Amino acid sequence: MRRLCAALAAVLLGAPFVATQGQAQSQVYDPVPPRGSAYLRIVNGLTGEVQARPDFLPAQRLGTAPAQRIMAYTAVENVAGRQLRLEFQEGQARGSVTIRVEPGSFNTVLLHPTAGGIGATAVVDTADFNQTRSRIAFYNVLSDCPAATLALLPSGPAIFEGVPALGTRARSVNPVTAQVRASCDARAAAPIALQGLEAGGMYSIWLMGSGSNVAGFLTRDTTARYQR
């Protein structure tokens, strides 16, 4: 079993691949946004449905099923020197955030619980890309978890460890089938199946929840068609 885990880890982890932002955009995302724009998505890390009202995109409804929580990356024009404002609501709780993003960047806004209600944290994503491998990003959406881990099952090494609260790490991996688990100390989500990964595909693994009730799931990164 140890030999099997070691062999699978070697295939899954491999050496990281680094590509330029321009290469990642031209090879992964279609259509490529105009010069001066950035990609941005909103993620619902709260317990209930969220209504999000960006001043830079149409209003969004983010549900509570895994696929409903993650918005597609969407192009935002003319972001240089611009403030982007986002208002959001979960039930009677409301919040807002103002962020800045760099042209050509990929960004994820994590909506999460705070002591005073709900908050938002913007994360700059990496966009490393390899046509022969899969890119996986791991997001720790637990605001009270200082160091999250994503490990290969049944007893393999960590793929990511020490991922800070409301932070992310990413790497390129070989597109194999495996089981992984996201955890924070004693709080562990149910196993996640890495299956159907495709060479050149970009995927995100999410750890979110509240208290001892945490969940982990996998989504494929997508982009919405550019709208003027």
Query: Is residue 84 in some structural domain?
Result: yes
Indicate the pLDDT class of residue 22, thresholds 50, 70 and 90: very low
Length reported for the chain: 228
Query: Is residue 20 in some structural domain?
Result: yes
- The token duo for 97 is 């955030």
Side chain identity at 71, as an amino acid letter? M
The CA–CA distances, whole Å, from 205 to 66, 118, 136, 185, 208 equal 11, 22, 7, 18, 10
Instruction: Check whether 183 has a pLDDT greater than 90.
Output: yes
Residue 211: per-residue pLDDT: 85
Section 175-189 average pLDDT: 94
Contact in structure between 218 and 203 (CB atoms under 8 Å): yes
Residue 65: per-residue pLDDT: 97
Query: Is residue 228 in some structural domain?
Result: no
Spatial distance between the Cα atoms of 148 and 214, rounded to a whole number of angstroms: 12
Determine the structural domain holding residue 179 and report its residue range.
Answer: 2-220
Q: Reduce the secondary structure of 154-173 to three states and give it as a string.
A: CCCCEEEEEECCCEEEEEEE
Residue 219: per-residue pLDDT: 96
Indicate the pLDDT class of residue 225, thresholds 50, 70 and 90: low
Task: Tell which residue, 189, 65, 177, 99, has the closest CA to residue 139.
Answer: 189
Look at the chain and report how many structural domains it folds into.
Answer: 1
Residue 175: per-residue pLDDT: 86
Query: Is residue 151 in some structural domain?
Result: yes
Question: In the 8-state DSSP scheme, what is residue 215?
Answer: E
Section 3-24 average pLDDT: 40
Instruction: Check whether 227 has a pLDDT greater than 80.
Output: no
Query: Is residue 225 in some structural domain?
Result: no
- The token duo for 155 is 């007893």
Residue 119: per-residue pLDDT: 94
Residue 20: per-residue pLDDT: 33
Spatial distance between the Cα atoms of 197 and 79, rounded to a whole number of angstroms: 32
Section 155-170 average pLDDT: 94
State the burial class of residue 90 (Cβ atoms within 10 Å of its Cβ: 0-12, 13-18, 19+): buried
Instruction: Check whether 19 has a pLDDT greater than 70.
Output: no
Indicate the pLDDT class of residue 33, thresholds 50, 70 and 90: low
Query: Is residue 212 in some structural domain?
Result: yes
Task: Using the structure block, give the residue that is written with the tokens 């982990």.
Answer: 216
Instruction: Check whether 21 has a pLDDT greater than 80.
Output: no
Section 146-164 average pLDDT: 95
Question: What percent of the chain shows pLDDT beyond 90?
Answer: 68
Residue 12: per-residue pLDDT: 55
Quote the Cα angle for 63-64-65, to 5°. Answer: 100
- Partner residues linked to 60 by β-bridges: 52
Contact in structure between 175 and 198 (CB atoms under 8 Å): yes
Residue 132: per-residue pLDDT: 87
Query: Is residue 144 in some structural domain?
Result: yes
Spatial distance between the Cα atoms of 120 and 87, rounded to a whole number of angstroms: 10
Query: Is residue 226 in some structural domain?
Result: no
Instruction: Check whether 31 has a pLDDT greater than 90.
Output: no
- The token duo for 171 is 């790497």
